[in-house]
């Protein structure tokens, strides 16, 4: 019996991804990073059990929630944590803003590798910190870090922190142990804070296992300047439950953040999120295995299809995440034209790469966490776009 269910209908006008179809019912959105795959039944059942208790009053986060997360991080990510090292947060975005406000000062620089998840820029700038863009370079069709330039950028910018997204959204890279160690070394030498966004690290394929910035492999020194942000929401399709974790092994940082957490009552997260997150980490192993195998099939299918049938669209091969970064530069369109033409000629909406910083110009991001037939439809729409452009 299959555990995953790809038969979902999201045509709700308030749905961030599918809401666009209220203005254009023919448009196929392959955008926002959640899945068109049902949130697992065992998680929905656990939430239903809570409803069945008839009272949704105050609750204390259960010890089993912390135990489940600690166990998950140890078994799947080689990260040893204690309950004292954890702070509950409503989301990774809220956690990032919280960390910036309490661990850096107004005017401090924060290095972000570009292209980047767009809210990074918004959160850093609106907290009056300097957004320091560090473009990744492409080698053999994948993003890599030019460490010489990173070192220079750290020195010239005097940045106080570096944000590391692993696996990388939108490029799909799973940074290697060596790359992460090098980032740690450079940051450590300069007393920089490392903010690790590992929200996508449970969406992994047979050819790659992400290493956490807080992994035991990294050693104590490396881990000591790191704050980890993560949740069950990407892998288990729970974005709406708004529950995540912040973890750090640095006692000084922890002390500051715990005090700040009390001041802001930041740990007062949603009861449904507590239940959903605990259930995901307690019972999620088989479901996750199945969904990741399905997503891996989607990834391989889309990658092959694009290479064989639409070679002017050049995909990056995602090592992790359910996001594929597509290079449309061969068509020679401006970013605005490209988005408009994909919609008008292909009836498909992708996330415009330019939203991910200048380094994303000419790219589009495709979310392949959908039923295989929907993915085929999306690829056919891209083919129609390609043919229509060539016919003009």
Ligand X SMILES: Cc1ncc(COP(=O)(O)O)c(C=O)c1O
Give the DSSP letter string of 339-386: HHHHHHHH-EE-EEGGGG-GGGTTEEEEE--S-HHHHHHHHHHHHHHH
Binders of ligand X among residues 217 to 236 (CB under 6 A) are: 231, 233
Packed helices 251-264 and 92-103: angle between N→C axes, nearest 10 degrees: 110
Packed helices 372-391 and 335-346: angle between N→C axes, nearest 10 degrees: 110
Distances (CA, A) of 195 to 115, 177, 269: 17, 16, 21
Helices (H), 231-310: 251-264, 271-283, 285-309
Comparison of 195 and 338: residue with beta carbon closer to ligand X: 195
Closest approach of ligand X to the CB of residue 197, in Å: 5
Comparison of 91 and 224: residue with beta carbon closer to ligand X: 91
Residue owning tokens 């809210």:
119
Which of residues 165, 302, 306, 369 is near ligand X by CB under 6 A?
165
Residue 1 makes CB contacts below 8 A (sequence gap 6+) with: none
Residue 65, phi-psi category: left (phi > 0), alpha (psi -120 to 50), beta (remainder): alpha
Which of the ranges 11-19, 62-70, 86-94, 250-258 carries the binding residues for ligand X, by CB under 6 A?
A: 86-94
Comparison of 129 and 242: residue with beta carbon closer to ligand X: 242
Each residue 187-206 as x (binds ligand X by CB under 6 A) or -, in order, gives ----------x-x-------
Comparison of 93 and 291: residue with beta carbon closer to ligand X: 93
Binders of ligand X among residues 87 to 126 (CB under 6 A) are: 91-93, 117
Report if residue 131 touches ligand X, rule: CB under 6 A: no
If binding means CB under 6 A, how many residues of this protein chain bind ligand X? 13
Which of residues 3, 217, 239, 260 is near ligand X by CB under 6 A?
239
Which tokens go with 270? 């949603």
Closest approach of ligand X to the CB of residue 155, in Å: 27
Which of residues 43, 99, 132, 244 is near ligand X by CB under 6 A?
244
Closest approach of ligand X to the CB of residue 117, in Å: 4
Closest approach of ligand X to the CB of residue 116, in Å: 8
Contact yes or no for 245/231 (Cβ under 8 A): yes
φ, ψ at 376 (rounded to 5°): -60, -45
* Longest Cα–Cα distance in the chain: 63
Closest approach of ligand X to the CB of residue 246, in Å: 11
Closest approach of ligand X to the CB of residue 95, in Å: 8
Comparison of 93 and 194: residue with beta carbon closer to ligand X: 93
Each residue 19-58 as x (binds ligand X by CB under 6 A) or -, in order, gives --------------x-------------------------
Closest approach of ligand X to the CB of residue 354, in Å: 17
Which of the ranges 50-58, 85-93, 202-210, 328-336 carries the binding residues for ligand X, by CB under 6 A?
A: 85-93
Strand 109-114 to strand 137-139: parallel, antiparallel, or no bridges (unpaired)?
unpaired
Packed helices 372-391 and 285-309: angle between N→C axes, nearest 10 degrees: 20
206-228: b (≥16 Cβ within 10 Å) or e: eeeebbbbbbeebeeebbbbbbb
Comparison of 325 and 385: residue with beta carbon closer to ligand X: 325
Comparison of 234 and 249: residue with beta carbon closer to ligand X: 234
Closest approach of ligand X to the CB of residue 280, in Å: 14
Contact yes or no for 17/32 (Cβ under 8 A): yes
For 310, counting Cβ atoms within 10 Å of its Cβ (0-12 exposed, 13-18 middle, 19+ buried), the class is middle
Q: How many other C-beta atoms lie within 10 A of the C-beta of residue 92?
A: 21
Q: What distance in Å separates the CA atoms of residue 363 and residue 115, rounded to the nearest whole number?
A: 10
Comparison of 204 and 389: residue with beta carbon closer to ligand X: 204
Closest approach of ligand X to the CB of residue 341, in Å: 25
Closest approach of ligand X to the CB of residue 266, in Å: 13
Which of residues 169, 203, 277, 351 is near ligand X by CB under 6 A?
169
Question: Which positions touch ligand X (CB under 6 A)?
Answer: 33, 91-93, 117, 165, 169, 197, 199, 231, 233, 239, 244
């Amino acid at each position: 019996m299959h555990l995953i269910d790809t038969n979902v209908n999201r045509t709700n006008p308030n749905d961030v991804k599918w809401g666009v179809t209220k203005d254009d019912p023919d448009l196929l959105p392959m955008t926002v990073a959640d899945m068109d795959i049902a949130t697992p039944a065992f998680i929905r059942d656990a939430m239903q059990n809570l409803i069945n208790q008839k009272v949704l009053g105050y609750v204390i986060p259960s010890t089993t929630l912390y135990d489940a997360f600690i166990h998950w991080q140890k078994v799947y990510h080689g990260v040893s944590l204690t309950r004292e090292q954890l702070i509950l947060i409503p989301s990774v975005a809220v956690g990032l803003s919280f960390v910036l406000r309490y661990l850096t000062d107004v005017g401090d620089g924060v290095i972000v590798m570009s292209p980047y998840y767009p809210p990074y820029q918004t959160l850093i700038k609106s907290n009056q910190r300097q957004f320091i863009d560090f473009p990744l370079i492409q080698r053999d069709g994948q993003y890599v870090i030019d460490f010489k330039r990173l070192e220079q950028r750290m020195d010239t910018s005097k940045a106080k922190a570096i944000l590391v997204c692993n696996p990388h959204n939108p490029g799909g890279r799973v940074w290697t142990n060596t790359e992460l160690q090098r980032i740690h070394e450079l940051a450590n030498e300069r007393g920089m804070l490392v903010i690790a966004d590992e929200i996508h690290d449970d969406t992994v394929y047979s050819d790659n296992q992400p290493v956490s910035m807080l992994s035991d492999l990294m050693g104590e020194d490396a881990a000591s300047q790191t704050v980890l942000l993560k949740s069950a929401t990407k892998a288990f399709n729970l974005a709406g439950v708004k529950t995540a974790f912040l973890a750090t092994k640095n006692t000084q940082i922890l002390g500051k953040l715990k005090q700040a957490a009390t001041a802001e009552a930041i740990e007062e997260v949603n009861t449904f999120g507590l239940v959903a997150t605990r259930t995901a980490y307690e019972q999620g192993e088989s479901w996750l295995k199945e969904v990741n195998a399905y997503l891996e099939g989607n990834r391989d299918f889309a990658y092959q299809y694009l290479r064989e049938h639409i070679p002017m669209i050049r995909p990056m091969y995602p090592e992790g995440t359910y996001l594929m970064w597509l290079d449309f530069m061969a068509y020679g369109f401006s970013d605005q034209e490209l988005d408009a033409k994909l919609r008008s000629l292909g009836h498909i909406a992708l996330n415009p790469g330019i939203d991910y910083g200048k380094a994303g110009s000419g790219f589009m991001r495709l979310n392949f966490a959908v039923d295989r037939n929907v993915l085929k439809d999306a690829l056919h729409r891209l083919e129609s776009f390609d043919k229509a452009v060539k016919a003009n």
